[in-house]
Amino acid sequence: MRLRWLCKNFNYFFPSFLMLVIFIKMTSRYVSVRPDNIPSDGKISFKNGFPILSFTIQAQAGILDPKSIRLTGDLSVFKDNASPPTPVRLTDAGDDRVTMDNRLGIYGVMDQLIIRHNRSKQICEHIRHYPRYLSTYLGLGSSKQDLLHPLNESCLIMPDPEGFFKTVVASEAGVASADVKKSFSCHLPCGFLMSGNSINLMETSFGGIQIEIHLAPDSNALFNPGGVATNISDCHYQLKDLSLEFEVADIPADQMSAMAGETSGQIEFNTITSLYTSINSTNAQLQFSLGLKQLQSIFLNFVPSSHINTLTQNGYATTYPSNAGGSLVHFKRVQWLRGGVKYPCEYDIVTNIDKDGQVATVDPQLLKSFVDSVIPDYLVDRCSVSTVNNNRDYNLGSGGSSYKDLGEGGALFGIGQKYSQFNSGQDFSRLQWGLSLESDLTTDSPQSVFIYAKARAVLVWSQNGVQLLQ
């Protein structure tokens, strides 16, 4: 089965295979770089004026493996901004409790990810609303057992909110503020770093790269599970001892001149374009000029607009939309459009809730299409979607079962559509992308919609810089 899959996708992986042959003849070394911008005490926090992290991988005689890049450091969470600040304790309960999104872990403190070509400072990839993208991506690409795996635990990810609070956020009584920390090591999922392409770091070739991480406001990264922020108005997270770790293969002397002569080329990868809008009516019409020539897929996740940038709610939760009071909104009819014409489904998707108002499970066609839009069906090995985290039995208000208490990693709802098979893509460079949603959403409860379009991109590079073609 694995061999058949590899053969089917050989053309996609062939460039990486050639570079692997070169790597066999090279010795590797592990490199660690500190942030370019760091205060004297090494403590970085959004609250205290350090909203952007920047790391530079300098030009050098070596070949970078982008997939080896990991961000490492220590995370601390405090309830106030005193000197020293008060740590979150295991005994904290009710209005005193501060926590984070357990599915995101350390990714919850990141807002944007930007990859730059170091020599020209031109952007290679830019993902906005990064945590909400990852909340869907990590949920659909990982099983419950994966969330418990050491590689995810190193990113401070856990499937259970209470276990996450006790092992990641809170500390024992008596531990001094200076000693409160949880170490992490996480990769940075994005198309450029996960493409399988190696980077020639020589100054005469591609050269170095710069990785820029915009940190999230504390009011997005942190929240009170009970929905009360009175006692935690100055809570904040803090990062310390940060470094970027990666692997570089040294170029043998007999290959140095050949690698130095590699002065231009191109890198192909799937990149993410992030869009934002809101809906506030029973019949919502979404239209965007994407300008993308090889659109692979598109998916959307939702959150009440009132839940964003507040310590009372988890603004990263990927829930159903909701009406005032917290009752869930149900999608009854969905139309995917291209240039105003139904595409790729030449029909209305009429959901199961339209036929049976009491059904609790998500419409299977919507769910299948959603999963397929994030990870194509021929690549899906595991997934954490279940009847626990993908149902209509919870509430986003004060009544009923809260979305904050859902197991299996938390609420995991969204809708999506795949537009291509095997990376061919569909041309939306001149035609508008559109989506029509019929629901029971009332006009007094605006819902934020985060849209992520995955498209094939080509980064053309030379001594003059880089150009991203989409």
Q: Could you read off the pLDDT tens digit of each residue along the chain, which spans 470 residues? A: 333 433 434 333 334 444 444 444 568 899 999 999 888 888 999 998 889 999 999 999 999 999 999 999 999 999 999 999 999 999 999 999 999 999 999 999 999 999 999 999 999 999 999 999 999 998 887 766 666 666 778 999 988 899 999 999 999 988 989 899 999 999 999 999 998 899 999 999 999 999 999 999 999 999 999 999 999 999 999 999 999 999 999 999 889 999 999 999 999 999 999 999 999 999 999 999 999 999 999 999 999 999 999 999 999 999 999 998 888 998 999 999 999 999 999 999 999 888 887 888 888 899 999 999 988 766 667 777 878 888 888 888 766 678 888 877 788 999 999 998 666 789 999 999 999 999 999 878 899 999 999 999 999 999 989 999 87
pLDDT at 24: 47
One CATH from 2.70.9.10, 3.40.50.880, 3.40.50.2300, 1.10.10.10 for 21-263? 2.70.9.10
SS3 labels along the chain: CHHHHHHHCHHHHHHHHHHHHHHHCCCEEEEEECCCCCCCCCEECCCCCCCEEEEEECCCCEEEEEEEEEEEEEEEEECCCCCCCCECECCCCHHHCCECCCCCHHHHHEEEEEEEECCCCCEEEEECCHHHHHHHHHHHHCCHHHHCCHHHHCCCCCCCHHHHHHHHHCECCCCCHHHCCEEEEECCCCCCCCCCCCEECCCCCCCCEEEEEEECCHHHHCECCCCCCCCCCCCEEEEEEEEEEEEEEECCHHHHHHHHCCCCEEEEEEEEEEEEEEECCCEEEEEECCCEEEEEEEEEEEEEHHHCCCCCCCCCCEECCECCCCCECCEEEEEEEECCEECCCCCCEECHHHHCCCCCECCHHHHHHHHHHHCCHHHCCCCCCCCCCCECCCECCCCCCEHHHCCCCCCECCEEEECCCCCCCEEECCCCEEEEEEECCCCCCCEEEEEEEEEEEEEEEECCEEEEEC
d(CA 159, CA 145): 9
Task: Provide the CA 79 distance to its chain's centre, in angstroms.
Answer: 26
Q: At what angle do helices 130-141 and 364-374 cross, to 10 degrees?
A: 110
Task: Provide the CA 143 distance to its chain's centre, in angstroms.
Answer: 16
Asked if 314 and 103 count as a contact pair (C-beta separation under 8 A), the reply is no
Structure tokens at 205: 């070739």
Every domain of the chain with CATH number 2.70.9.10 lies at 21-263
> Which amino acid, one-letter code, is at 438?
E
Every domain of the chain with CATH number 2.60.120.730 lies at 268-459
If you count them, how many residues does the chain have? 470
pLDDT at 420: 82
pLDDT at 13: 36
SS3 labels along 35-58: CCCCCCCCEECCCCCCCEEEEEEC
Query: Which 8-state DSSP code applies to residue 378?
Result: G
Asked if 241 and 74 count as a contact pair (C-beta separation under 8 A), the reply is yes
pLDDT at 361: 83
d(CA 367, CA 392): 13
> Which amino acid, one-letter code, is at 31?
V
- Looking at CATH, the fold of the domain delimited by 268-459 is given as Jelly Rolls (2.60.120)
Kindly report the average pLDDT of the chain as a whole number. Answer: 88
What is the widest separation between alpha-carbon atoms in the chain?
71
